Structure 1
Amino acid sequence: MSVNQLKVALAQIAPVWLDKNATLKKVLESMSEAASQGAELIVFGEGLVPGYPWWLSITHASAWDERIQKEIHAHYAQNAVQIEKEDLKPIQEAAKTHQIAVYLGIIERPTDRGGHSLYCSLVYINPQGEICSVHRKLQPTYDERLTWSPGDGHGLRVHPLKAFTVGGLNCWENWMPLARTALYGLGENLHVAVWPGAVRNTENITRMIAQESRSFVISVSSLMRKSDFLPDTPHLDVILENCPEVLANGGSCIAGPDGKWILEPVADQEGLLYQTLDFNRVLEERQNFDPVGHYSRPDVLQLSVNRDRQSSVFYEE
């Protein structure tokens, strides 16, 4: 395959909900399968490891000082990913072995913020197995703020992958025009949008971003069904009381640089979806519009981005 072509795999799978180790094993299985089919990039949904906080919207999660909510949250934190403790080392090793790049959505419990708060993070691992960026979601959405903390701009980065320049955002961050522009300005031409899982989230914005940026856009969603909750989940009876049969139906899809579908949203199907992308299509569509190039006015409009990793305490030895 030429340097201008990139085979991508969209991993539309369900987590082993709130079981970090079991979900990581499922990620490894998907990577192996994708590599066997010649994929050079595999993308997983938002917060897949160990799962999206589905209980928030169905268990009165905003109740103050509620024991049930505290215990579920603590279980969530116990299963969050700690990169500093090498939780992702098996994924890195597999990426290197298979020579495949990875975008993986995780719930992160980072030590550089004290090691207790949770962040919705999107991790990029290159084909050499190196973690190249960890982007913490800038603004958790609505009830997500009850369990996730706001991130920072440190992970607003792009990465070379064959002829492409890839970057990514989490869920409704993709609706933030300035966050998108920050990546466009770095040369992004393959945009990765990760979601917890719903066709209603991906069916419009995927094509819109593609047409705005004249880039390929990959949206990858997870699945979650009532049957995916594990029996040992704390307060499972409370969670299931008002739980629908399907919480996330997928919706993974790809739009081309002209805003037209390459792969229309796929619902209620677990597994890997494949497509080969041709970089030349980006150059064709940038002929008439380039949002940070010939169709921009930096003398009138500019964006300033703070990419410092934020912390409450700075130490001087």
Structure 2
Amino acid sequence: MSSSHKLKVALAQIAPVWLDKSKTLVKIKQQILDASQQNCELIVFGEALLPGYPFWVANTNGAVFNSTTQKEIHRHYIQNAVQVEKGDLDEICNLAKEHNIAIYLGLMERAADRGGHSIYCSLAYINQEGSIKSMHRKLMPTYEERLTWASGDGNGLKVHPLKDFTVGGLNCWENWMPLPRAALYGMGENLHIAVWPGSEVNTKDITRFIARESRSYVISVSSLMRKSDIPKNIPHVQEILDNVPDELANGGSCIASPDGEWLIPPVLHKEGLIIATLNFNRVLEERQNFDAVGHYSRPDVTQLTVNRERQCTIKINN
């Protein structure tokens, strides 16, 4: 698309090959190719899609202490998490560059700078030149997620230029946290990306709320997950299959316009790409009567401090 104020976006509402990094990467790459063939300039994938959300925790008594079952499933999860330093995202970055498409990808990150044995729910932004420009680690895992995910830091609270737009993103219930939202607004965000494991219960209210608060476009992308998506090679798979429902995530991907009205209401049970074109002019029009960090702010009364230092257990002085 030649006009800088128009942006064609794709919401990839797909199921992972659950807890299988290699096979899920194959699905992700195909979605990128399909989106590029339709001239999309941004594609977004759901929270923790690579290699999948930890649905077993809530369904197999995950809080039992010192459980062999939980340890062995967790070990399998770590083994299938993304190791950026070892090149796990190289092919994705190459596709972004080759097809001139930006990517937001929800993944489980096995972080070398934190020892390499814990995993973080991360949201990677890869620009149209194929460079990873931010890796946002979820600040606070929600409820049972804390049994398998570590807490992140503010290093990934960043925004990025994309044509006339400025994009930023948060994971799942981080979107309910007022201060991280405000941090992104203050950096100039006008296209907000919210990624979820998959449910219209999550997306149907907050997507429109953030759009009305920020007067920005908001893209919410969820995954699908069915019992049939569970491979048979996962440790203790039969216990998992015996305890999970037939459908664990029903989608709910959607887009709200800067006035808070639906551009695309939540889409349920449908796997594939959801495509729309955004018009940046709508952002400027809706900022006329409200701009939370501009003319409708009082920085002399309230201000926010953001610590973007990447947290690490050790600091090595050479």
Q: Tell whether the structures are fold-level matches, with TM greater than 0.5.
A: yes
- The answer as to 2:225 corresponding to 1:224 is yes
How big is each residue's C-alpha offset from its partner over 1:112-145, in whole Å with a ceiling of 9 and x where there is no partner?
Answer: 0000000000000000000000000000000000
Amino acid at match of 1:95: A
Q: Which amino acid aligns with 1:205?
A: I
What corresponds to 2:108 in structure 1? 107
Q: Give the unaligned 5+ runs of structure 2.
A: none
What do residues 249-302 of structure 1 show as CA deviations (whole Å, max 9, x unaligned)?
Answer: 000000000000000000000000000000000000000000000000001111
Structure 1 segments of 4+ aligned residues over 2 angstroms from their partners: none
Q: Which residue of 2 aligns with 1:26?
A: 27
Matched, 1:134 2:131: no
Match of 1:264 in 2: 265
2:269 is aligned with what amino acid?
D
Give 1:158-177 correspondences, 5 Å limit. Answer: 158-177=159-178
Q: What is the rounded CA distance, in whole Å, between the counterparts of 1:86 and 1:211 in structure 2?
A: 39
**Superposition pairs for residues 30-179 of structure 1, below 5 Å?**
30-179=31-180
Query: What pairs with 1:139-288 in structure 2 (closer than 5 Å)?
Result: 139-288=140-289
Cα deviation code 1:187-224 (max 9, x no counterpart):
00000000000010000000000000000000000000
Cα displacement (A) at 1:241: 1.6
Looking at structure 2, the residues matched to 297 and 113 of structure 1 have their Cα atoms a distance apart, in angstroms, of: 38
CA distance in 1, matches of 2:43, 2:110: 23
Instruction: Output the CA distance in 1 between the equivalents of 2:159 and 2:244.
Output: 38
Residues 68-89 of structure 1, C-alpha deviation per residue, up to 9 Å, x if partnerless? 0000000000000000111000
Segment drifting more, 16-25 vs 248-257: 16-25
Q: TM-score normalised to the size of structure 2?
A: 0.99
Q: Is the partner of 1:120 in helix, strand or coil?
A: strand
Letter in 1 for 2:55: W
Q: Given residue 107 of structure 2, which amino acid in structure 1 is its aligned partner?
A: I
* Identical pairs, percent: 66
Per-residue displacement from partner, 1:141-187 (whole Å, max 9, x unpaired)? 00000000000000000000000000000000000000100100000
Shift of 1:237: 1.0
Measured in 1, the distance between the counterparts of 2:69 and 2:310 equals 33
Amino acid across the alignment from 1:153 = G
The separation in 2 between residues aligned to 1:311 and 1:3, in whole angstroms, is 39
| 1:3 partner letter | S
Report SS of the residue matched to 1:172.
Answer: helix
Cα distance in 2 between the residues matched to 1:35 and 1:87:
21
Q: Structure 2 CA distance, aligned partners of 1:111 and 1:123?
A: 16
Report the residue type matching 1:66 in the other structure.
Answer: S
- Structure 1: 5+ residue stretches without partners: none
| TM-score of the two chains, using structure 1 as the length reference | 1.00
CA distance in 1, matches of 2:154, 2:208: 25
Aligned residues: 317
Aligned residue number for residue 314 of structure 1: 315
Q: What displacement does 1:93 show?
A: 0.2
